Copies of this chain bind each other. A is one copy, B any other.
Amino acid sequence: MYKVKVYVTLRESVLDPQGKAVQQSLSSLGYNGVEDVRIGKYMELQFDDTVTDVEGTVKEVCEKLLSNPVIEDYRYEIEESAKQ
């Protein structure tokens, strides 16, 4: 069993209107010290033992389905986990 944590973020050069909206909401709630907010996705995938090349599979899955490589970057962490 492997637990994989995937983080997908917008590339630096891409505008993040959702983050901007959150930053303006914070500002209107009185939190003026927040200069910038960027919003991404966080995913946890549980792989079973039938998968032999976990890292290769994670890369494929990130590029095909979980992120849009044109505007997003991804990174991942693989943890071995005991059967729960």
Contact = CB atoms under 8 A, between A and B. Distances in A.
A29 B50 CA distance: 16
| Interface bracket on A | 20 to 34
Given A41-B42, A65-B22, A47 B29 contact: no
Given A22-B65, A33-B50, A41 B39 contact: yes
Interface in A32-84: 32-48, 50-51, 57, 60-61, 64-66
B34 A47 contact: yes
B33 A48 contact: yes
B39 A43 contact: yes
Nearest to A7: B42
Given A25-B65, A61-B26, A40 B37 contact: no
